[in-house]
């Protein structure tokens, strides 16, 4: 299988939105081609202590409690470094070495800030350009009054799949 012309979609779930204080709880990644066909998937949860989980903001406490993520984080076995190691192996298996990887997702700049801060080895593999689906959302909602009804699971893998479907929706409107 050729390793060229692919996109790395990533979604993170975190304890909050402050990359200097909050931490990553869950990561999912999907590799697609430019027709948005799934070629590979990755999903892992990072163990965090009760002390760390107690620092979550109110939104995260509620949402991650409802989704079951908080309990899965408590029972997870892998540290952030171990999950980063596994993500690097996934990336190396699916992308060419020394070719910057295009990162994609919804509001991907936020995920990228956490990756830059907490997973520097992953960040080193990424291209400076990103494919941010939320930019498409702003244009289509503001200019064309077109809104994609994306389910908000707030679990990483489901959120990525929703982002891919959302971009397909916008691109179909261009035809």
Rounded to two decimals, what is the model's pTM? 0.93
Instruction: Output the pLDDT for position 154.
Output: 78
What integer is the mean pLDDT of 153-157?
Answer: 86
Those residues whose C-beta lies under 8 Å from the C-beta of residue 20, and which sit 6 or more positions away, are 117
Tokens for 15, please give them.
Answer: 């304890």
**CA–CA dist 69, 45 (Å, integer):** 8
Annotated catalytic sites, by residue?
A: 128
Rg (C-alpha) for the chain, rounded Å, is 16
- HSE of 147, CA atoms in CB hemisphere, 13 A: 4
**CA–CA dist 107, 92 (Å, integer):** 24
* Per-residue model confidence as pLDDT tens digits over 76-122: 999 999 999 999 999 999 999 989 999 999 999 999 999 999 999 99
* Per-residue model confidence as pLDDT tens digits over 10-21: 999 999 999 999
Domains in the chain: ranges and CATH: 7-173 (3.30.420.10)
Whether residue 40 is predicted with pLDDT greater than 90 in this model: the reply is: yes
Question: What is the CA 79 to chain-centroid distance, rounded?
Answer: 18
Strand-pair category, 7-14 with 126-132: unpaired
**CA–CA dist 156, 106 (Å, integer):** 11
């Amino acid at each position: 299988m050729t390793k060229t012309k692919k996109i790395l979609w990533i979604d993170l779930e975190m304890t909050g939105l402050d990359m200097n204080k909050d931490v990553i709880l869950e990561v999912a990644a999907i590799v697609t081609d430019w027709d948005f066909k799934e070629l590979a998937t990755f999903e892992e949860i990072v163990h965090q202590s009760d002390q760390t989980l107690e620092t979550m903001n109110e939104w995260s406490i509620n949402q991650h409690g409802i989704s079951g993520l908080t309990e899965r984080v408590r029972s997870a076995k892998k540290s952030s470094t171990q999950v980063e190691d596994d993500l690097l192996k996934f990336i190396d298996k699916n992308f060419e070495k020394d070719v910057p990887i295009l990162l994609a997702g919804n509001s991907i700049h936020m995920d990228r800030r956490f990756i830059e801060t907490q997973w520097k080895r992953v960040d080193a593999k990424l291209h400076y350009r990103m494919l941010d689906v939320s930019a498409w959302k702003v244009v289509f909602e503001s200019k064309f009054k077109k809104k994609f009804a994306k389910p908000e699971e707030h679990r990483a893998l489901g959120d990525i799949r929703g982002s891919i479907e959302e971009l397909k929706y916008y691109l179909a409107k261009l035809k």
